[in-house]
Structure 1
Amino acid sequence: MSPLGTECSVNQLEKNLLNKLETKQAIIGVVGLGYVGLPLAVEKAKAGYNVIGFDVQQKRVDMVNEGINYIGDVVDEDLTAITQSKVLKATTDYSLIKNVDAVAICVPTPLDIYQQPDTSYVESSAREISKYLHKGMLVVLESTTYPGTTEEILKPILEETGLECGEDFFIAYSPERVDPGNKTFNTKNTPKVVGGITPSCTAAAAAMYRNVLEGEVHEVSSPAVAEMEKILENTFRNINIALANEMAILCNKMGIDVWEVIDAAATKPYGFMPFYPGPGLGGHCIPIDPFYLTWKAREYNYHTRLIETAGEINNSMPDFVVNRCMQILNKEGKALNGSKILILGIAYKKDIDDYRESPVLPILQQLDEAGADWIVVDPYVREFKFNGEIRDTLLELSEELIEETDMVLITTDHSCMNYELVAKKSKVIFDTRNVLKSTKPLGKYYKL
């Protein structure tokens, strides 16, 4: 075929896909129905597309098909409506990918035991898609990962089919931007970054998101730029939180209230953005994503000193919290061993049910090893896995429970917690979130 003929063929494939996306005739697939994938699938279905959700967990598939929601950022009524109208269906049968015109990969990208990226979920998804890849199809990776993943892993696997990216099908990277519990920004209105392997790939992916989302779609020159910007977002937060945590440690030694310091600094209308300390970092993104970059940097013989130091500071905060617990109890003439400690919150951030990578877990581990008698209250998390066992939480506070404890340790600042009761009935409070800043506790009160 002549170069002109090839160009016409590519243009026609792109035109056909763009037309399907514009007229909502495209069938869209979403691989992975977790915290990123399910909200995305719901928004695509609400936008008027027929959507097929793919997941390896039969329980998730059954819940979606029954209209039962398990993700906090999805509105129950939305899921019920779109599943009842059959515009969203879930399945474990990946052969149905042959029917889709575009598919988004939203699977986990954890770290392994050596703090190196585990791309096995991405690779597995790519191989399943490759079995049913067809001409004119768009594949978008959304999972957070290191720069180069789309072109070094996804593209070669899909091209093993004999089809060529940019000529026969389209590949792009568009990083997920999910902030669980955020009441202002969600999947639909958060700006989206898109970078394709070729200009046609970028155009196709951007068209899909513009037909689904209300937020701006920002096009960049390559998948690597989009991958790097996502890492920059989370590394920026990681480093600034580490600075706040280090300030908290130093302020504690100097007898200065770090929260008052930050509030004072925040009065400056330029050149300062407030970040706050806490018991450590949690969730799947901020504590993990910067390590993707430190790992990739070694390939270029570069050591990301600032990023790694920030990670060390944030990872040390559970140790700092437990040491403070020990010091506070010592002041009360008690040892950590045998003391009853009431933990308020195991979710990694306020008003969500997600405890993945929660800093409370290593705190509990250290308290356990020290012989403390602890119990967790969390109105969002009914149970959690600890040392290979499922542990139950209490969903509500009681006056009797508080009065029986030697210390109340506030680790998650859930809005619905009865802090007035905590302030009135606690003997000793250690507040790592400054949640009682406007309250005057009757007992001994300590802040991070």
Structure 2
Amino acid sequence: MASAAITLAADAPTLSAANTGFMLICSALVLLMTPGLAFFYGGMVRVKSTLNMLMMSFISIGIVTILWVLYGFSLAFGTDKGGFIGWTSGWVGLSDIGTADLWDGYTIPILAFMVFQMMFAIITPALISGALADRVKFTAWALFVALWATVVYFPVAHWVWGAGGWAFELGVIDFAGGTAVHINAGAAALGVILVIGKRVGFKKDPMRPHSLPLVMLGAGLLWFGWFGFNAGSWLGNDDGVGSLMFVNTQVATAAAMLAWLIYEKIRHGAFTTLGAASGAVAGLVAITPSGGAVSPIGAIAVGAIAGLLCAMAVGLKYKLGYDDSLDVVGVHLVGGVVGSLLIGFFASGKGQSEVQGLFYGGGLDQFWKQCAGVFAVLGYSLVVSAILAFLIDKTIGMRVSEDDEVAGIDQAEHAETAYDFSGAGGGAARTSVTTAVGGESKKVDA
């Protein structure tokens, strides 16, 4: 018995300063993605909605952080209750978590895991905001974020990643959030826009991005932060799987961007900066669930397929008549579905698990498991999100007035504008300054 106790003690995980530091850096990278998303969305809207888009992402940082500490972490990763939700009362407010307590079977503190997952919880509702541009009351949006995180995100995170969650136990593979983050947010976006309706002037007025440089800046920040999002989800890199995910993130994103641009050139005759940014994000979305299961060659295939299909999907809103302002459905929902389902074909058996997809001799068993996870999350998020939007709309009202929407939601909701042009142009007051010209002092207008 004594020797067995010694062996167990020796085998127990101990705190790794390297893995802990890695996870804290990854957490900061994932947090950076939310301001990156704000810039990405902010550049894609018209000038009069810029600040509102920034604020719709930033408010998620405030609301979800508090909810995650109070009860969200416990609901998502606490002791399983029937496969659908978790709960550990000692984690409410993080009250009974010690600084040296390690996360289950890993070499990092529970608090490091908690804060890493907090950043996922923050960005997921922020993703939804892009579909609702120009027309939603800020107070209604803030309430929706709080309710949606509580009744949709926290339970779904438990399904997919929590020990005992039904999707986790079924064997659904979701390395970093194809179902829990992207399909979840994309389906929610679709549910809400079906309730609140179209923008004033949809399909009639030009609604072009007002700042493509902002869009590219946001896409770059997202791409940068996504390495923490994806590689960090292995919670360390002792076996190299985190490195595989890092490589596959880069490879798939590049392939998706190229595929989108090629489609765009053939279909519309030009390579656009908006297409490059959107294609990159589509690749990032698709590799998120699959990158730990596929090889780099498989990552190229996943990225290229996602880039092509997402580029094709963004035009569906005009054919089907739903107003997805910034293509959240076309990129995040479609990209998440594509990336999750392709695991059933491209899983190599040499990454995060020994599971092999159809193209590697594994048959369709994993594909059907992926289908179960994908369509359960899609259906649950779509229906519950639509119900939440309907209830908010019937109580405090979800949309701003038509006059405020036309005049500009920034002024109506925030009493600010993104750019101040009042001092620009030839009408500005001119100032005299003294300068030296040819050795003499002369007054000139500045």
Q: Determine if the TM-score, normalized by the shorter chain, exceeds 0.5.
A: no
Query: Quick check: which one's strand share is greater?
Result: 1
TM-score (norm 2): 0.25
Query: Quick check: which one's helix share is greater?
Result: 2
Q: Which has the higher contact order (CA 8 A, sep 6+)?
A: 2
